Amino acid sequence: MFGSTMITLTIAAFVMTVVLILWRPKELNEAIPATGGALLVLLSGSVSFADLLKITDTISDAVITIMATIVMAIVLESFGFFQWAAEGLIARAKGSGLRLFWYVILLCFLMTLFFNNDGSIMITTPILIIVLQNLGLKNHQKIPYLLSGALIATASSAPIGVSNIVNLIALKIVGMDLYMHTLMMFIPSTLGLLVFAFLLFLSFYRILPKRLPLNPKVPRQHPLHAKPSTAMPAIKNRAKFMRNILLFVFMVRVSLFIASYFGIPVSIVAVLGSAILLTWRWYYLKISPADMVKKTPWHILVFAFGMYVIIYGLNNIGLTHMLVSYLKPLALGDLLNGSLLMGGLVTVLSTLVNNHPALMIGTLTLTGMELDPLTLKVTYLASVVGSDLGSLLLPIGTLASLIWLHILKQNKVKVSWKDYCKVTFITIPPALIFTLVCLAFWVEWIF
């Protein structure tokens, strides 16, 4: 049995960490409260040294994979890829505000699939701000594009597990590979995203400008940072070069699933892909890979490790055991019942405490239920849907949403909680239920 002091300190560490992450006083980096909370948990004794080794083994592959993916995004920025994408976005809209909306949805979906949800937010939001400012749209006309893009970018981490660090960690916990995750999840979650995008379109239809100015000039601005860039790198036959880069990134993503299928750590493939891309940049632009030391957001590693230590502490003091006792009888019904139960539970937890701890708590709870393999997989995937889609109900539900709000504030774009919630409260519940139902029926059909 654990002492009352140990339990109190562990719970206090969790509450303090979540409050500081959501509040972020003076733009506090999320890794700082996660580290402080983890240290408090270690001092309480609810996590041992042996637990730390297990935690390191659990999260290392996921963290390395995500960090390598972010490095790839930074390299693509060096090539001017995202500015090129912004120019193409406007050109393909052909003066139609409605067409631009759907291209924004497609761009954000693909960015998350090719990179990850946090990286997609960091990339697409500045691109869209550049585009919308250049078009001279008013603040209320920018909201449909910016909000829909952010929601789709975050929710698009559900179809493939490699697009979200917490999804990758949870995959490791339940012993599921990327190949199986995608086989069971891609179709239902993509259908859910289509329904979600259509609901967003209906919500914003009256606000969307029907016609846009023709032939606007996109400012030469760095899409990941506030500092402007005077010009894109001089690369001959730019369109062909960018297509080759995109094809390479696509091949790396496919290789991750092949590696997972054959039991090869996906981090090896991700690091190799990043190394090749860095060498490619060195050859073309003469930029040494040394700049990655400063540009790579290493705090993500610290954040992930700290949060998992805290959640592991909660697990050790009996939180997940308590949840198991309440939820196991409910989850033992059919697949549809289990899907709706876990998807709804993680949605509520994500809304209250952010989706990173919510999905970890949900996943650890599932592993203690002694469910049959198929039910375990479906309830886990339903938890992912709740974490990636249901968590968007409030802007504090995901780290990606917090990053998005921060970028908007830096660029003086006003999106209030009222603007956010009056859209999400109408669109997310039906999209969430639709996805969870599709998941249960899809898995039942293929198995």
- 240: which residues sit within 8 A by CB, 6+ positions away? none
* Gap between the Cα atoms of 15 and 13, Å rounded: 6
Give the three-class secondary structure for 24: coil
User: Residue 421: what pLDDT?
Assistant: 92
Residue 127 · residue 174 · CB < 8 Å: no
pLDDT digits (tens, 9 = 90+) for 348-373: 988 887 888 888 888 888 888 888 88
- 38: which residues sit within 8 A by CB, 6+ positions away? 13, 305, 306, 307, 309, 310
* Residue 359: closest CA among 383, 393, 323: 383
Q: What is the 8-class DSSP label of residue 96?
A: B
Which pair of tokens denotes residue 328?
């196991």
User: Residue 233: what pLDDT?
Assistant: 60
Residues of the chain with pLDDT under 70: 1-2, 213-235, 331, 333
- 48-52 long-range contacts, CB within 8 A, separation 24+: 51/312, 51/316, 52/309
- 282: which residues sit within 8 A by CB, 6+ positions away? 288, 289
pLDDT digits (tens, 9 = 90+) for 210-260: 888 654 554 444 433 434 343 456 667 788 888 898 899 989 988 988 888
pTM for the structure as a whole = 0.83
Q: What is the 8-class DSSP label of residue 333?
A: S
- 230: which residues sit within 8 A by CB, 6+ positions away? 220
Task: Please provide the distance, in angstroms rounded to a whole number, between the alpha carbons at the two ends of the chain.
Answer: 42
CB atoms within 10 A of CB 265: 14
111 to 86, 115, 117, 193: CA distances (angstroms): 13, 6, 8, 14
Distance of CA 196 to the CA centre of its chain: 16
Residue linked to tokens 């914003």: 204
User: Residue 438: what pLDDT?
Assistant: 97
Give the three-class secondary structure for 228: strand
Phi, psi of 211 (to 5 degrees): -125, 145
> Torsion angle of alpha carbons 389, 395, 401, 405, nearest 10°?
160
Q: What angle do CA 355, 181, 169 make, to 5 degrees?
A: 45
* Torsional class of 225: left (φ above 0), alpha (ψ -120 to 50), beta (otherwise): beta
Query: Which residue type occupies 266?
Result: V
User: Residue 184: what pLDDT?
Assistant: 94
